[in-house]
């Protein structure tokens, strides 16, 4: 045992090669240090929200923009661009942040999304046959910024916040990303009332957006850690449900006479409720360190929430709104908790790599599921004009089955909190490295 203690500094130095620069925290922090780290978190949160706002900016007004584009492209196709482009870009984004630092990656991401939003506004100067394709290019450019925004929260929390605040700080940045969706759902229906107002809307979005070697082996090694793939599945299903609800909410409610304004309010309320739920539950997870139990409870309630949304008659406005509130409240905490648990059990794999891998899985699943569910919904509604009662033809019931399966997977999670154990000096770093082999 004494030998392990004496060798700890050397092993710790070896483990640090897999990690971003780790800030040693002292027992006391000055008020200035406390304000600085929350200010940095706020900057990242704003940039992340803008990135998501660009992604979903056309979802609340899909009928208007699709008419303007003469049905050459659908709004969900623009959203899917984000999911698909993330797959190759996640590797590059994670490499850039691990090699050049968090600040460089976030600044580069901000530049990319500002350029993409500007190109979308510039597309409005083309005729109706060319505008959709230039818009796609702008959306593609902005999507390149996604890895820098969604991979950063865990890195910032790991480097700037103590372990007792990481689930909370991670949830703030992750759910700020979802806040961007709430903003466009709340604003777009009031700003864009006809296709002639789309250029001004694009302009507003554009203004708003206004020397160690990298260890690639950690990408493959992450899945060798016990329990990591369970967290990736949980993160992915939460990402898929959130994206499906945001992208298809207009179509889910199109069987009734909901106005565009009402749908926009419903979408914003859904996202805001997810932020509230995430903060409340993440604080409790920080106190109790009960990541697995929290994931189990939230996933079970998410399945229940989707089922309630499916079963509630859409003509009942208040019950429909309450079902969305409940679903958002229990869905919001899943991603930040799954991310923190993934970082814990995959230690010493860097937080940026863990975030990239989980987001990669989530976007890959969304890239497959959202267009498929959209096609299923479009085909059914156009054929009958009413919702189907068959479980395999209903997007909501399919999501319930996927979520229930994920709940069962999390029940089998048996990973360890390796990062917490290392930082608490419960086990030496060399044992952490041996645990992954």
Please report, rounded to a whole number, the percentage of residues in the chain having pLDDT higher than 90: 14
- Position 32 in a domain: no
Is the per-residue pLDDT at 207 higher than 70?
yes
Indicate if the pLDDT at residue 360 is higher than 50: yes
- Identify which of 53-67, 250-264, 287-301, 408-422 has the greatest average pLDDT: 287-301
Please tell me the least confidently modeled range out of 237-241, 255-259, 285-289: 255-259
Instruction: Give the DSSP letter string of 344-391.
Output: HHTTTS-HHHHHHHHHHHHHHHHHHHHHHHHHHHHHHHHHHSS----G
Domain that holds residue 323: 39-435
Q: Which one, of 11, 316, 345, 25, lies nearest residue 154 by Cα?
A: 345
Model confidence over 4-43: pLDDT tens digits? 333 334 334 333 333 344 444 444 455 446 677 788 888 8
Instruction: Reply yes or no on whether the pLDDT at 271 is more than 80.
Output: yes
Q: What percent of the chain has pLDDT over 70?
A: 83
Asked if 154 and 222 touch (Cβ cutoff 8 Å), the reply is: no
Per residue in 104-150, pLDDT (tens digit) is 888 888 889 889 988 988 888 888 788 888 999 999 999 898 888 88
Q: Got the DSSP string for 212-236?
A: PPP-THHHHHGGGSTTHHHHHHHHH
Look at residue 4 and tell me if it is in a domain: no
pLDDT of 217 above 70 = no
Report pLDDT for 296. 93
Does 388 or 317 have the greater pLDDT score? 317
User: What's the angle, vertex CA 347, arms to CA 342 and CA 352, rounded to 5?
Assistant: 65
Helix (H) or strand (E) holding 405: helix 395-411
Q: pLDDT confidence of 400, banded at 50, 70, 90? A: very high
Number of domains in the chain: 1
CA–CA separation, 259 and 262 (whole Å): 5
Does residue 350 sit within a domain? yes
Q: Is the peptide bond before 348 cis (omega within 30 degrees of 0)?
A: yes
* Count of residues in the chain: 437
pLDDT for 383 equals 46
Rounded to 5 degrees, φ, ψ at 110 are -60, -40
Give the span between the Cα atoms of 332 and 310, in whole angstroms: 19
Q: What is the CATH number of the domain that holds 394?
A: 1.20.1250.20
Helix (H) or strand (E) holding 180: helix 166-191
Query: Higher confidence at residue 220 or residue 199?
Result: 199
pLDDT band at 154 (very low <50, low <70, confident <90, very high): confident
Query: Please, how many CA atoms are within 13 Å of residue 248, restricted to the half-sphere of its CB?
Result: 25
Task: Give residue-wise pLDDT tens across range 76-99.
Answer: 888 888 888 888 888 788 788 878
Residue 82 within any structural domain of the chain: yes
pLDDT bucket at 255, cuts 50 / 70 / 90? low
Say how far apart CA 283 and CA 175 lie, in whole Å: 14
Alpha-carbon span 64 to 197, nearest angstrom: 10
Give the model's confidence band at 161: pLDDT under 50 very low, under 70 low, under 90 confident, else very high.
confident
Task: Name every residue whose Cβ is closer than 8 Å to that of residue 271 and which is 6 or more positions away in sequence.
Answer: 178, 179, 181, 182, 185, 246, 328
CA nearest 254: which of 369, 367, 368, 374? 374
pLDDT band (50, 70, 90) for residue 305: very high
Give a yes or no: residue 164 inside a domain. yes
Q: Which of 175-189, 248-262, 417-431 has the lowest mean pLDDT?
A: 417-431
Q: Considering only CA atoms, which of 237, 250, 255 is closest in space to residue 388?
A: 255
Q: Is the pLDDT of residue 308 over 90?
A: yes
The per-residue pLDDT for 215 is 52
What number is the average pLDDT over the span 278-302?
88
Token pair 């229940």 is at which residue?
304
Contact 86, 112 (CB under 8 A): no
Contact 427, 4 (CB under 8 A): no
Q: Supply the pTM of this predicted model.
A: 0.63
Model confidence at 327, pLDDT cuts 50, 70, 90, reads very high
Q: Does residue 15 lie within any of the structural domains?
A: no
What pLDDT score does 393 carry?
67
Reported as a single tens digit per residue, the pLDDT across 53-69 is 888 888 888 778 888 88
Residues 6+ apart with CB under 8 A from 289: 417, 420
Separation CA 144–CA 437 (nearest Å): 34
Residue 147 CA, distance from chain mean position: 10
| CA 319 distance to own-chain centroid | 27
HEC string of 106-130 equals HHHHHHHHHHHHHHHHHHCCCCCCC
CA gap 108, 102 in Å, rounded: 10
Average pLDDT for 302-316: 89
Q: What is the pLDDT of residue 99?
A: 81
**Residue with more model confidence, 422 or 108:** 108
Determine the Cα–Cα distance for residues 187 and 198; give it in Å rounded to an integer: 13
Smallest CA-to-CA distance from 267 within 366, 385, 188, 365 is with 188
Dihedrals phi, psi of 33, to nearest 5 degrees = -65, -40
**Any domain includes 25:** no
């Amino acid at each position: 045992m004494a030998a392990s203690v004496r060798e700890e500094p050397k092993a710790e130095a070896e483990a640090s090669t897999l990690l971003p620069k780790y800030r040693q925290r002292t027992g006391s922090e000055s008020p200035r240090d406390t304000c600085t780290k929350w200010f940095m978190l706020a900057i990242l949160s704003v940039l992340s929200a803008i990135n998501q706002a660009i992604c979903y900016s056309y979802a609340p007004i899909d009928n208007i923009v699709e008419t303007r584009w003469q049905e050459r492209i659908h709004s969900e196709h623009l959203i899917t661009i984000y999911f698909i482009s993330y797959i190759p870009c996640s590797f590059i984004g994670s490499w850039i942040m691990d090699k050049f630092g968090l600040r460089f990656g976030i600044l580069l991401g901000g530049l990319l999304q500002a350029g993409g939003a500007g190109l979308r506004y510039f597309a409005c100067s083309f005729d109706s046959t060319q505008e959709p394709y230039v818009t796609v290019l702008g959306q593609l450019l902005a999507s390149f910024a996604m890895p820098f925004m969604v991979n950063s929260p865990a890195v910032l929390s790991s480097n700037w916040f103590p372990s007792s605040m990481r689930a909370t700080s991670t949830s703030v940045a992750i759910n700020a990303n979802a806040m961007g969706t709430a903003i466009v759902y709340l604003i777009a229906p009031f700003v864009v009332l006809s296709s002639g107002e789309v250029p001004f809307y694009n302009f507003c979005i554009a203004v708003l957006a206004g020397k160690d070697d990298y260890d690639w082996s950690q990408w493959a090694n992450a899945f060798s850690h016990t329990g990591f793939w369970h967290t990736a599945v949980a993160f992915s299903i939460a990402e898929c449900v959130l994206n499906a609800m945001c992208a298809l909410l207009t179509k889910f409610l199109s069987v009734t006479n909901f106005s565009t304004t009402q749908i926009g309010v419903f979408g914003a309320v859904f996202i805001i409720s997810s932020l509230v739920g995430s903060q409340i539950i993440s604080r409790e997870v920080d106190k109790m360190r009960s990541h697995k139990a929290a994931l189990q409870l939230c996933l079970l309630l998410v399945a229940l929430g989707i089922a309630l949304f499916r079963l509630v008659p859409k003509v009942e406005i208040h019950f429909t709104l309450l079902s969305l509130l409940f679903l958002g409240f229990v869905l919001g905490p899943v991603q930040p908790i799954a991310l923190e648990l993934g970082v814990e059990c995959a230690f010493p794999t860097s937080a940026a790599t863990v975030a990239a891998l989980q987001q990669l899985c989530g976007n890959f699943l969304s890239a497959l599921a959202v267009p498929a569910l959209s096609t299923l919904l479009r085909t059914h509604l156009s054929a009958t004009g009413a919702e189907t009662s068959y479980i395999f033809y209903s997007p909501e019931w399919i999501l319930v089955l996927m979520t229930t399966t994920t709940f069962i997977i999390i029940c089998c999670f048996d990973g360890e909190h390796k990062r917490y154990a290392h930082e608490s000096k419960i086990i030496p770093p060399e044992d952490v490295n041996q645990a992954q082999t």
